[in-house]
Amino acid sequence: MPTAALDVDRLRADTPGSARVNHLNNAGSALPPSIVVDTMVEHLRLEEEIGGYEAHAAAQAQIDAVYPSVAALLHSRPDQISLVESATSAWDRGFAALVHSGQIPAGSRILISGAEYASNVIPAMQMARHHQAVVEVIPSDAAGLVDVNALAGMLNSSVAAVLINHCPSQNGLINDAAAIGAAIRTSGSGAWYVLDACQSVGQLEVDAPAIGADFLSATGRKFLRGPRGTGFLYSSDRALTELEPFPLDLHGATWIPGGYEVATGGRRYESWEKSYAAILGMGAAIDYALACGMPLLRERISALAEYARTGLAALPGIVVRDGGATAAERSGIVTITHDHMPAAELAPAIKARGVNVSLSTPDYSRDAFDAAGISGLVRISPHAYNTQAEIDSLIDIVAELTAY
């Protein structure tokens, strides 16, 4: 395995959980570095001592600083960022604004990636069922990636929105989000580009403006290693100026005599009540990732994932299901099946041996499973703090559990 220039001992010392568990479920919810938990606890203690609103006021400068941190991560401006409670909540706010602002009229087409996440596909299907929109799946290329040429051929003025999953949670791929953005731009279709970056943010460099997404949604708890219950939305300038979020609350808008005024910037996509402890924890996680350096994190996560793929593929009966022609097209999400042990049995058996992996099922992305004719996958998702020895241990366990 190539050695990445990260201080892994330091990463592990910063991650107390790594001494207790072999955690290969970072695509589910990662082990946080202690700075994340310390930051949250400190704020909760302040709330305990002086009151929630008073703690909020006392920490206002640190809370405000989370916006530039997210912006630095996405190469965007702080006013393009909205802090919310999950990736789904972020995505929903963007999609609801498109619907409410009349951007998905009856008869218009919604194009979705083949491995789109269920929570993104279901609202698109709702638009088809209740509002006569047409949902079309963009074909995948031979490597399993969104076929950008096929997309280009589908784009015209009837396309209202293009919904793309940057790193699907169950096929190990990195879709070429920037090429997709370029195809949408050059098509002149005016289609809105909604990018689910839930699994890419934190493991890859994600440059939202360069990608050209109108909305980009992400979560705190996965590869960013932040707390649960956090997420954020990036909005393009046209998403900030041409759309009206729905429903607006008294934070996203102000009740003025005879009507309301929508807030400017990303605030219009936020709600008033939040867990400020969690937000501060997410800010700490982002600052930690930025201090590590996204290119180095990507390099190490990719090296561990490729090492796992090679070792697992060599086991009898194991099939590595990830697509991608080269490592550059693959993410830190590794998926396997076995030819006679169902994933629904294998995943819990691995977990019972002390290695945290997860079971992926069609509930999360139906089309991808149906196309492959499988009902479950074991998902292995290392982070930079994991070691080659931990991957070796996983491979040994899988070999023992699946021995004929």
164 interacts with ligand PLP by CB under 6 A:
no
92-121: contacts with ligand PLP (CB under 6 A): 117, 119
Residue 333 φ/ψ region, left for φ over 0, alpha for ψ in the -120 to 50 degree band, beta for the rest = beta
Which one of residues 36, 87, 374, 395 is an interface residue with ligand PLP (CB under 6 A)? 87
Q: Is 169 in the site for ligand PLP (CB under 6 A)?
A: yes
Cβ atoms of 148 and 179 within 8 Å: the answer is yes
| Site for ligand PLP, residues 314 to 333, rule: CB under 6 A | none
**# residues contacting ligand PLP (CB under 6 A):** 12
Nearer to ligand PLP (CB atom), residue 12 or residue 225: 225
| Phi then psi dihedrals of residue 376, to 5 deg | -170, 155
Distance CA 121, CA 127 (A): 10
CA neighbours within 13 Å on the CB side: how many for 20? 4
For the CB of residue 222, give the shortest distance to ligand PLP in the complex, in Å.
7
Contact track, ligand PLP, 190-219, x by CB under 6 A: ------x-xx-------------------x
Q: Nearer to ligand PLP by C-beta: 76 or 169? A: 169
For 225-270, the DSSP string reads ---TT-EEEEE-HHHHHS---SS--TTTEEEETTEEEEPSGGGGG-
Instruction: Quote the least distance from Cβ 197 to ligand PLP, whole Å.
Output: 8
What is the b/e burial string over 73-82, where b = at least 16 CB atoms within 10 angstroms of the residue's CB?
bbebbbebbb
Q: Which of 69, 76, 86, 331 binds ligand PLP (CB under 6 A)?
A: 86
The rounded Cα 32 to chain-centroid distance in angstroms is 16
Q: Which range binds ligand PLP by CB under 6 A, 5-13, 84-92, 267-275, 355-363? A: 84-92
254 sits in the region (left: phi over 0; alpha: psi -120 to 50; else beta) called beta
Residues 231-250 that bind ligand PLP (CB under 6 A): 231
* Residues near ligand PLP (CB under 6 A): 86-88, 117, 119, 165, 169, 196, 198-199, 219, 231
